[in-house]
Amino acid sequence: MSRSVRWVVRGVRGRVPASFTWPGVITNRSVVHVTAGEVRFGNTLRRPTPPFQDFYYVLGDADIWVSNISPRLNTFRGDDPGGVRFILHVDWRTPLDVAITITVEDDLPVEIQGYT
């Protein structure tokens, strides 16, 4: 099982550093997936059920992607709640509205190798 959160960032253009804090869920060993896509607003359902989503994804011509996904939790600092940092890219001539989804897997990697 996994858990996801989703939100919209309005008027994005270019390379935008972003951060999301999720205490107790994301650690430096978490498996985190971050996706992004262009959205437009308008109720997509006649009878929406929670959680409500008043936007819908569109497959536009803009190139939108996420890079440098970095889960974090500094175990040496007691005040670090844990989260993820990433770079959101929107390659288009005008700002666009973008929905970001962060999904965290419940299981940690079965093996973690250091460098040699």
Residue 59 in any domain: the answer is yes
Tens-digit pLDDT profile for residues 1-18: 899 999 999 999 999 999
Residue 15 in any domain: the answer is yes
Residue 27 in any domain: the answer is yes
pLDDT score for 78? 65
Residue 41 in any domain: the answer is yes
Residue 90 predicted with pLDDT over 90: yes
Q: pLDDT confidence of 77, banded at 50, 70, 90?
A: low
Residue 97 in any domain: the answer is yes
- Domain CATH number, residue 35: 2.60.40
Residue 48 in any domain: the answer is yes
Residue 56 predicted with pLDDT over 80: yes
Residue 113 in any domain: the answer is no
Name the pTM for this structure: 0.84
pLDDT score for 38? 97
Per-residue buried b or exposed e for 55-87, using 16+ beta carbons within 10 Å of the residue's own CB: beeeeeebebebeeeebbbeeeeeeeebbbebe
What average pLDDT does range 75-82 have in this prediction?
70
Average pLDDT, the chain: 88
Query: Domain range spanning residue 63?
Result: 2-105
Q: Find out whether 112 and 29 touch, Cβ atoms under 8 Å.
A: yes
Sign of CA dihedral 88, 20, 113, 107: negative
Residue 101 predicted with pLDDT over 80: yes
Highest mean pLDDT among 22-36, 70-84, 85-99: 85-99
Domains: count for the chain: 1
Residue 114 in any domain: the answer is no
Q: Find out whether 25 and 114 touch, Cβ atoms under 8 Å.
A: no
